[in-house]
Structure 1
Amino acid sequence: MMADKTKRPDIVDLLVPLRRYARSLTRDTLRADDLVHDTLVRALESQATLRPNTNLRTWMMTVLHNVFIDDQRRKRVEARHADVLVQMSEEVAPPAQEGQVRLAQIREAFLTLPEEQRAALHLVTLEGMAYADAAAVLGIPIGTLMSRLGRGRAALRAFEEGERAGKAAEPRGGPERPHLRLVSRDGHSPGDGPPAYENRAFGTQ
């Protein structure tokens, strides 16, 4: 009984990282809340299998991930609603307007990553988990985790470079306007004959 009393506050303390991870996986606030609820239910049902020296955080993240996978398998045949972009953390202070737009773009790029890359990046980057613990949560070797992290980071870097290239290519002040000048029809000075309009931009007269 004493062991249960010492574990319960720890589980409560893990609600914030559990909810963050759930939102990262589901990309939907309501589904994330349901996932955390189902995770707590399964954890309570399985607490007898929890060994005294087990890392509770890693164990709870593993339970949540397994509940999510089971839910995906059950709903694979159902039509899914459009993904809802949500903030991954509400504790971040609101940045300046331009920075806020940029943050939203990066978040959107993150949410378009494949699920396996998104999960790996979330556990290691946002939750600060060690590679071994993150690999244990996902049930994969550390080498596979490193590969997923590398592909995910490469995709985000490509997004960043594409955004910078797009901004650099944008014309300033709008599209270039055609330049007109007066020339004579025989190519001499305008005073030698009736003027004609030459459009330098299009090469026509």
Structure 2
Amino acid sequence: MQVEAAIAHIPRLRRYARALVGDAARADDLVQDTLERACQKWALWCPPEAGSATEVQAALRSWLLTLMHNLYANQWQQAARQRTVDWDDAWDGGHDPTSQMALRLDLERALALLAPQAREVLLLVGMEQLSYAETAQMLGIPIGTVMSRLARAREQLRRLMEGAAPSRTVLKAVK
């Protein structure tokens, strides 16, 4: 494996993992699992043949994010089978006197309350700045589904940030 090529993407993988799982230690574990999987499956990665160095790096980033998404989805499904989480109890945090910190905590809480499929699309498009097509390819869903999930996620996030009660609906994964 060309370690240098994958190492360049670690900061972005960490940022996405942290936003996805909401915990630095679990995010680091997810990044490590992703890089281990990449090492094991390196022969499956097919870089664009006639692509520039930038296109090859973009393809590698997309492949690594796809591996991370699949690992996260598998872990989330296993955890969901083992236990259920009462988000009201899980997010009963203390008071922080700074308004920016409070807003950040509210945003993290609101993101955690989104359905995993909605949160993934929102983070990939909003934070990682991937196109709808790249997001659709990475998640293995149609572009229309990306746009629909993104619109619903943005609306639900807006309502949660305004103090609305979280919705208990769960989206079914489209394969």
Q: TM-score, normalised by structure 1?
A: 0.64
- Return the alpha-carbon distance in structure 2 between the equivalents of residues 76 and 102 of structure 1: 28
Distance verdict in 2 for CA 1:161–1:28, change over 3 Å:
closer
More helix by share: 2
Q: Tell me if 1:101 matches 2:102.
A: yes
Within 5 Å, give how 1:68-107 maps onto structure 2: 68-79=72-83, 97-107=98-108
- Return the alpha-carbon distance in structure 2 between the equivalents of residues 76 and 150 of structure 1: 25
Of structures 1 and 2, the one scoring higher in RCO (CA 8 A, sep 6+) is 2
**What count of residue pairs does the alignment treat as equivalent?**
148
Amino acid at match of 2:131: A
Distance verdict in 2 for CA 1:48–1:81, change over 3 Å:
same
Q: Secondary structure at the match of 1:140?
A: coil
Q: Deviations over 1:166-201 (max 9, x none)?
A: xxxxxxxxxxxxxxxxxxxxxxxxxxxxxxxxxxxx
Q: Which runs of 4+ in 1 moved over 6 A?
A: 80-85
Structure 2 unaligned blocks of 5 or more:
49-55, 92-96, 165-175
Distance verdict in 2 for CA 1:159–1:26, change over 3 Å:
closer
- Return the alpha-carbon distance in structure 1 between the equivalents of residues 98 and 45 of structure 2: 47
Q: Tell me if 1:150 matches 2:155.
A: no
Within 5 Å, give how 1:32-47 maps onto structure 2: 32-47=27-42
Amino acid at match of 1:104: L
Paired residue for 1:67? Answer: 71
8 Å CA contact 1:24–1:118 kept in 2: the answer is no
- Return the alpha-carbon distance in structure 1 between the equivalents of residues 86 and 160 of structure 2: 22
- Return the alpha-carbon distance in structure 2 between the equivalents of residues 37 and 142 of structure 1: 29
Percent of matched pairs sharing the same residue: 36
Paired residue for 1:22? Answer: 17
More strand by share: 1
Q: TM-score, normalised by structure 2?
A: 0.73
Within 5 Å, give how 1:124-139 maps onto structure 2: 124-139=125-140
Paired residue for 2:61? Answer: 57
Taking only aligned residues, the RMSD between alpha carbons, in angstroms, comes to 2.4
Amino acid at match of 2:116: E
Distance verdict in 2 for CA 1:76–1:111, change over 3 Å:
closer
8 Å CA contact 2:22–2:108 kept in 1: the answer is no
Distance verdict in 2 for CA 1:43–1:100, change over 3 Å:
same
8 Å CA contact 1:35–1:64 kept in 2: the answer is yes
8 Å CA contact 2:110–2:161 kept in 1: the answer is no
